[in-house]
Amino acid sequence: MIRIGLIGKPNAGKSTLFTALTDVPVDIANYPFTTVKPNLGMSFIKVSCPEKEIGKKCKPREGTCVDGIRHVPVEIIDVPGLIEGASEGKGMGNEFLDNLRNSDALIHIFDPLDSSELPGVRDLNLEELNNSMHATENEIMDWFSDRIFRDWEKFARKCDASGDRIESSLYTKLASFGLSEKDIASVLSEEFFPGRLSLWDKGDAKKFASVVFKKIKPIVRVANKADLLSEDQLQVMHDKYSDITLVSAEYELALTRAFSSKIIDRTETNFSISDSATPKQREALEKIRKFFANRKVSRAYDILEKISKDWLHHIVVFPVYDESSWTDKSGNVLPDAFLMPLGSTALDLAYKIHTQIGEGFIRAIDARTHRVVGRDHVLSDGDIIRIVSKS
């Protein structure tokens, strides 16, 4: 399952966004370190479900499916706010940062107006904004490069003497951070690194960390509290920062709570408002609807989908037991939907289902075409596959 970490300075709105995405209640307040320990919850990514092709309603084992849109679960972890020096242990920094080691991607949430120097002044200061964004992300880089380079001299001498490939040697040190040998080889191909580990210095470790968080564990920038920006400020942010997504965690949470209270029938922007809503509630909801209709801003769930497809390059695959009815052994239609890296094979899917299934792999069957495929068959987005195994 994909795990996405939420990072950012205190008061950026991480806990608000976390609650909106996961419906897990946590402390939300406007003071530093409201979150004193990481919060873990489940959210989802929307994908098209093949249920309409077979003409039967699916029965997801995890998540839900509404009107042919499958909600595939992902893990969200809300890490307490970072302060300068977190990579050196300040503000319980090491404990907090260690919770990010197994994240597949990070969402860097920040308040674009937080750089205002005068109380009550909400002006954009682009220079301060740039400095603030880079300061937080540098803490992540420093933390990771420090762990790479820890006890380096002894480690490097031993690896160089072994004659093993660099990616194999580094894997023994970095496997606990969720990096595979393939990932490490990909990072090494992006930049120039010395051919012998004993020749690496702290700068090489920092460069390695930078590529990891650019290519393998991407950091996605999200400007929160966009509802407080004027139309001119929204335009400036939209024009100046093509890599930044504008959201409002406060409005997302308001829709989540309105849906839970049955005031609206869905959290999508085309929601209908119940007759039980008060005039004040109706006015607030229409304001939120108008805000999300602005093409310069995005919905929070769209960020998760973009991370999965555009940054992590994942596809969705539906494993089944019966390729004719698209069911499991109990007759449940399309019970599972797995997010898998692009380029995954039928054998990878078998291991994803269960280690024993992978070890006993015989063949796979494409449920749409009923064509038998081998272990090296590369899967496509939306495939429905039966795995035949000795186990």
> Which DSSP string do the residues of 186-228 spell out, in sequence order?
HHHHHS---SSGGG--HHHHHHHHHHIIIIIS-EEEEE--GGG
Q: What angle do CA 142, 145, 150 make, to 5 degrees?
A: 120
Q: What pLDDT was estimated at residue 84?
A: 56
Q: What's the whole-model pTM score?
A: 0.85
CB 238 within 8 A of CB 297: no
**What pLDDT, on the 0 to 100 scale, is given for residue 169?**
92
Q: Do 193 and 186 form a contact (C-beta atoms < 8 A)?
A: no
What is the torsion angle, in degrees rounded to the nearest 10, for the CA atoms of residue 21, residue 213, residue 100 and residue 105? 30
* Biggest CA-to-CA distance, the chain: 75
Strands 69-78 and 3-7: parallel
pLDDT of amino acid 48:
93
**What is the model's pLDDT at position 58?**
96
> What pLDDT sits at residue 178?
84
Question: For residue 144, what pLDDT is reported?
Answer: 86
**Domain map (residue ranges) of the chain:** 3-117+219-308, 314-389
**Predicted local confidence at residue 36, as pLDDT:** 47
Spans of the chain below 70 pLDDT: 24-38, 80-99, 115-122
Q: Is 134 helix (H, G, I), strand (E, B) or coil?
A: helix
pLDDT of residue 226: 94
Which pLDDT value is given to residue 98? 63
* pLDDT at residue 32 in the model: 43
DSSP state of 70: E
Cβ proximity of 156 and 200 under 8 Å: yes
Q: Which two tokens stand for residue 32?
A: 């530093």
In this structure, are residues 363 and 385 in contact, taking their beta carbons and an 8 Å threshold? no
67-80 pLDDT, tens per residue?
899 999 999 988 76
CATH architecture for segment(s) 3-117+219-308: 3-Layer(aba) Sandwich (3.40)
Q: What is the pLDDT of residues 320-334, one digit of tens each?
A: 999 999 999 999 999
Q: Which residues, including other chains, have CB under 8 Å from residue 274's CB and lie 6 or more apart?
A: 262, 263, 264, 265
What the block records as the tokens of 267 is 């959290």
CATH level 3 topology of 314-389: Ubiquitin-like (UB roll) (3.10.20)
